[in-house]
Amino acid sequence: MNEYRVAVVGATGAVGTRMIQMLEQSSLPIASVKFLASKRSAGKVLSFKDQDVVVEELVPESFTDIDLALFSAGGGISKKFAPEAIKRGAVVVDNTSAFRMDKDVPLVVPEVNEHDLYKHQGLIANPNCSTIQMMVALEPLRKVYGLKKIVVTTLQAVSGAGNRAIEELMTQTKDVLDKKSCKAEVLPVASDQKHYQIAFNPLPQIDVFEDDGYTHEEWKMINETKKIMGDQSLQVTATCIRVPVAIGHSESVWFELEKPGANVAKIKGILAKAPGVVLQDDPANQVYPQPIMAAGKKETFVGRIRCDQEQENAFHLYCVADNLLKGAAWNSVQIAERLHALDLLAVPKN
Ligand code: NAP
Ligand code: 12T
């Protein structure tokens, strides 16, 4: 059996550290690991299965003798270094938005469109965190009833924006409680012109604005959903909100099914058996998904399933998942596990 030499790019980050944990727990046969980051973190010691691993500075030659490279160091880094990795024979699973909408790049949530892995040419894209958990919750229903329209509002944790954003929420929260003034430097978007307090103050901006008034995050959810579900006629619209939560994105999802015949009991029955889903829906006992319960877990938690009171075939659900695990690190390692299982963990030769 093959054993893989694995590189993690962005190994010191919020996602990268979880990638390391997911690799430690994975059934993937691993011969060696290499942890890559910027010059700032080179020399730092991380651990893998109780062994010390020294972080190295990312350079093109980092990918010599690497079979699998997991990228999570920002889109610019992926654009520059993913081709270097592929050129040297590594299969890349990329967590950034750099290649997600490229025609030849599979965009994969294993529970939904594993079959797209067969088309890969050396690079597979990991979807946006908010898109992934919504796909896990809706695909089982789409399979049975078809999907016509989705209207989603997200409540996204600060960890989606990296380690500095988590730090900012903690520091600001403490400052507010201590009745001190607080500094905002990272959220909503580190590179944007203005920064606002996130402690005790949800912000309706994730990623930068487009000219149409939607944010880039909202467009990612719209476009990626159509690509993953393989249906360009699916109607999708999104509003993305950053909330003062460290880990765990929550989503209020309204959806209209294509075929008649669904009801709440049938939907619950389907989701109770769906891969990657944990049904938490018992209003009489106040059971519903919450970020503090989803943090650290690989599944997507679904509850609050109700019918729209006015419109036929339309329903609501609420889903919560760990954005750093199912939304990023776990989905990437799961893709690698599926590539291995399907004997696809090699760059195809043309
Ligand atoms: P983070 O906590 O800020 O970590 C960033 C990581 O990238 C660190 O390991 C950092 O290394 C490394 N890095 C930064 N600049 C680099 C450079 N010039 N060369 C090499 N490494 C560099 O951010 P994060 O939350 O882990 O997110 C990382 C990226 O993952 C994001 O930019 C985004 O593209 C992607 N992401 C995707 C999703 C998703 O929806 N699937 C969710 C979150 C993030 P140092 O320690 O050296 O600074
Ligand atoms: N939600 O790569 O929360 O699609 O700031 C990157 C950052 C998604 C992505 C964030 C996000 C991405 C964030």
Ligand 2 atom with the smallest distance to the CA of 128 is 4
Positive/negative CA dihedral, 71, 74, 79, 80: negative
Q: From the CA of 35, how far away is ligand 2's center (Å)?
A: 22
CATH 3.30.360.10, domain 131-323, yes or no: yes
How far is Cα 175 from Cα 170, in angstroms, rounded to an integer?
A: 9
Q: Any idea which ligand is nearest the CA of 74?
A: 1
Q: Any idea which ligand is nearest the CA of 9?
A: 1
**How far is the first Cα of the chain from the last one, in angstroms, to the nearest whole number?**
24
At residue 348, the pLDDT reads 85
| CATH 3.30.360.10 residue window(s) in the chain | 131-323
Is residue 1 scored above 70 in pLDDT?
Answer: no
Q: From the CA of 74, how far away is ligand 1's center (Å)?
A: 5
Identify the helix (H) or strand (E) that includes residue 340: helix 330-341
- Segment 285-304 shows an average pLDDT of 98
Per the annotation, the verdict on 249 as an active-site residue is: yes
| Ligand 1 and 49: CB distance under 6 A | no
Is residue 42 scored above 70 in pLDDT?
Answer: yes
Q: How far is CA 320 from CA 59, 130, 221, 249, 291, in A?
A: 37, 9, 16, 6, 6
Is residue 350 scored above 80 in pLDDT?
Answer: no
Centre a 10 Å sphere on the Cβ of residue 74 and count the other Cβ atoms it contains. 16
Whether residue 181 contacts residue 218, with contact meaning beta carbons closer than 8 Å, is answered with no
Ligand 2 atom with the smallest distance to the CA of 75 is 2
Banded model confidence at residue 28, pLDDT cuts 50, 70, 90: very high
Tell me the pLDDT tens digit for each residue of 141-151. 999 999 999 99
Centre a 10 Å sphere on the Cβ of residue 122 and count the other Cβ atoms it contains. 18
What percent of the residues of the chain are helix, what percent strand, and what percent coil, each to the nearest 5?
Answer: 35, 25, 40
Centre a 10 Å sphere on the Cβ of residue 58 and count the other Cβ atoms it contains. 26
Banded model confidence at residue 349, pLDDT cuts 50, 70, 90: confident
Residues β-bridged to residue 5: 32
Catalytic residue among 120, 240, 249, 340: 249
Centre a 10 Å sphere on the Cβ of residue 157 and count the other Cβ atoms it contains. 28
Q: Note the maximum CA span of the chain.
A: 63
At residue 94, the pLDDT reads 98
**Residue 61 gets which letter from DSSP?**
G
Local structure of 273: helix, strand or coil = coil
Residues 6+ apart with CB under 8 A from 103: none
Nearest alpha carbon to residue 17 among 344, 330, 339, 312: 330
Is residue 2 scored above 90 in pLDDT?
Answer: no
How far is Cα 75 from Cα 65, in angstroms, rounded to an integer?
A: 23
| Ligand 1 and 10: CB distance under 6 A | yes
Q: What is the pTM of this model?
A: 0.98
Per the annotation, the verdict on 129 as an active-site residue is: yes
| CATH 3.40.50.720 residue window(s) in the chain | 4-127+328-341
Integer-rounded Cα radius of gyration of the chain: 20
For 4-127+328-341, CATH gives 3.40.50.720
Banded model confidence at residue 109, pLDDT cuts 50, 70, 90: very high
